[in-house]
Amino acid sequence: MTRDIEQFAQLGIGEALTAGLLEYGIGKPSPIQAEAIPYILEGRDVLAQSQTGTGKTLAYLLPLLQRIDPEKKESQVLVIAPTQELAMQIVREGEKYGAPLGISTIGLIGGASAARQVEKLRQRPHLVVGTPGRLRELLSTRKLKLHEVRTVVLDEADQIFQLGGADDIRALLKGSLRDRQLIFLSATLGPEVRTLAEREMRDPADVGIEPEQKLAKTTQHLYFVCEERDRIDILRRVVRHYNPQRAIVFVNQTGTIAEVEAKLNHLGLAARTLYGEADKVTRATVLSQFRSGKFRLLVATDVAARGLDIPGLELVVHLDPATDSEHYVHRAGRTGRMGRKGLSVSIVTDRQEFILRKFSRELETEIEPRVLYEGAVLTLAEAEQRRSSGAARWTPKRSGSAAAGRSEAAGVPASQGSSPVTGSGAAGRAHGEAPQRSAEPGRTQPRKPAGRPPKGSKKQPNKDKGAPKWLKDKRSTQDPS
């Protein structure tokens, strides 16, 4: 269905904006942009669903910036985002492309000084971006008025819906113009959001780019099984092995997040934390330091799962399994963006393995078991091969892939091979962990140096494998090297 669009200009995006885009190396619209931009320019209501990292922000920002009249001192567009971090990311994009057109942008987020925001609101910034909580507060005290707002965008609409429910969203929409344009976007637009859309939207354009394909095709999904107490150790080895420029480590609870951070730092892995209860200044500082490379591992709750676009984020680790497949989609969606290669690694106990099998089924995506052995990452078949050719020098516990079943004792090496790292000998060893330092039995394959993903897959996919066609085309024209 995707129209073959080569240029933003063909979609109706003006010269000032296309020049701005080129400055940032953006020359060709992504499919969701090609589909959504014409409708948004027309003023149509739009429901847009496409995978994480496919350019949904510019799909709405570009046409809306184009339609803003900078001469009028009116707040014309309101964008609602579920978290402070995402709202500020959108503010930065708005400023980046809007400022050269004379368009002013404001971020209204919780935790920041409301007084300063109110002061700035008096200038009637053209583009208002905010989180639901702060928006509600400013609306109820009538500091923020929406009567001039022509367009309301819900970025990560399903998440906003989950945070506040339909009534809350309706209350937020109430003050805007009756015939306002409404735009909902997400990689996951469930039935609740669609019901709300039916009630609030007029004849919406339903724009979906492979809506059933929720995960980026360029991301590989792996998991390691281990004992509860070995989680951090497996995490350390995974980070050592894949050596990502940056990684996010997701945990489910704020209660244990400081402990994880401390353990990682103790192991020499520079880590900091991001979670909802931290104050706004700390959250902003941590994220900006992460972006600029001051530390490598961001230990975060799901507050970091939605919408964040962080360059160089090559690895997502689920230190606790995601609560459901949608959370998995958004966590994993922090990597493998815009056709780049990504890796999503879950670390689970054998009792949690069924969760990944469930996600794999629901998302129709392979989430494959792997085993760590002497710094190498092996498939179960490769591990098995080494085991059998190594005459029982060691046996990684078979983690229960559908074929393997559970075998508690199988992971115990016959004799030697106690790990100098865990010091726990064989008995308590994790599934995901083969003994260290034992001779590599009957090496059937040359040992690969530790390095970049994907490991364990025999063929090294080329950089464009799985990248969307439009992006491959773009690379071949833009990147002759």
Work out whether 309 is an interface residue with ligand ADP (CB under 6 A): yes
Closest CA to 169 of 219, 133, 202, 128: 133
54 binds ligand ADP (CB under 6 A): yes
CB of 30 to ligand ADP, least distance (A): 4
Q: How far is the CB of 28 from ligand ADP (least distance, A)?
A: 6
Strand 376-378 versus strand 371-373 pairing type:
antiparallel
CB of 257 to ligand ADP, least distance (A): 24
Q: Among Mg ion, ligand ADP, none, what does residue 58 contact (CB within 5–8 Å per kind)?
A: ligand ADP
Binder among 11, 17, 20, 29 for ligand ADP (CB under 6 A): 29
Ranges of beta strands (E only) in 146-242 are 151-155, 181-186, 205-208, 219-225
Asked whether the bond before 454 is cis by omega within 30 degrees of 0, the reply is yes
Close Cβ partners of 55 (under 8 Å, ≥ 6 residues apart): 29, 30, 32, 33, 338
Is residue 310 a contact residue for ligand ADP (CB under 6 A)?
no
If contact means CB under 5 to 8 A according to the sort of partner, which of Mg ion, ligand ADP, none does residue 331 touch?
Answer: none
Minimum gap (Å) between residue 150 Cβ and ligand ADP: 22
CA dihedral of residues 417, 422, 425, 431 (deg, nearest 10)? -80
CB nearer to ligand ADP: give 29 or 164.
Answer: 29
Select 338 or 410, whichever has its Cβ closest to ligand ADP. Answer: 338
Q: How far is the CB of 55 from ligand ADP (least distance, A)?
A: 3
Closer CB to ligand ADP, 43 or 312, in the complex: 312
Q: Judged by CB under 6 A, which of 118, 338, 404, 410 binds ligand ADP?
A: 338
Compare residues 132 and 307 and give the one whose CB is closer to ligand ADP: 307
DSSP conformation letters of 71-94 = TS-S--EEEE-SSHHHHHHHHHHH
Q: Tell me which stretch binds ligand ADP (CB under 6 A): 52-60, 107-115, 319-327, 389-397.
A: 52-60
Q: How many Å apart are CA 215 and CA 207, to the nearest integer?
A: 17
Torsion of CA 302, 308, 310, 316, to 10 degrees: 30
Residues 17, 100: Cα–Cα separation, whole Å:
9
Q: Which residue, chain included where needed, has tokens 């902003």?
A: 284
Q: How far apart (Å, rounded) are the C-alpha atoms in residues 456 and 410?
A: 21
242, amino acid identity: Y
- Residue 424 CA to residue 19 CA, distance in Å, equals 60
- Which partner from the list Mg ion, ligand ADP, none does 91 bind, CB cut-off 5 to 8 Å by kind? none
The rounded distance, in Å, linking the Cα atoms of 62 and 93 is 10
- Judged by beta carbon, residue 430 or residue 471, the one nearer Mg ion is 471
Among 31, 44, 47, 52, binds ligand ADP (CB under 6 A): 52
Q: How many residues does the chain have?
A: 481
Residue 41's binding partner out of Mg ion, ligand ADP, none, with CB under 5 to 8 Å set by partner kind: none
Please, what is the Cα angle at 459 between 456 and 463, to 5 degrees? Answer: 105
Q: How many residues bind ligand ADP (CB under 6 A)?
A: 16
Judged by CB under 6 A, the stretch of 23-31, 104-112, 382-390, 459-467 that binds ligand ADP is: 23-31
Which span (28-36, 41-49, 282-290, 460-468) binds ligand ADP, by CB under 6 A? Answer: 28-36
Say which residue the tokens 């940032």 belong to: 24
**What residue 29 binds from Mg ion, ligand ADP, none (CB within 5 to 8 A, per partner kind)?**
ligand ADP
- Residues numbered 56 to 115 that lie near ligand ADP (CB under 6 A) are 56-58
Residues that bind ligand ADP (CB under 6 A): 26, 28-30, 33, 52-58, 307, 309, 337-338
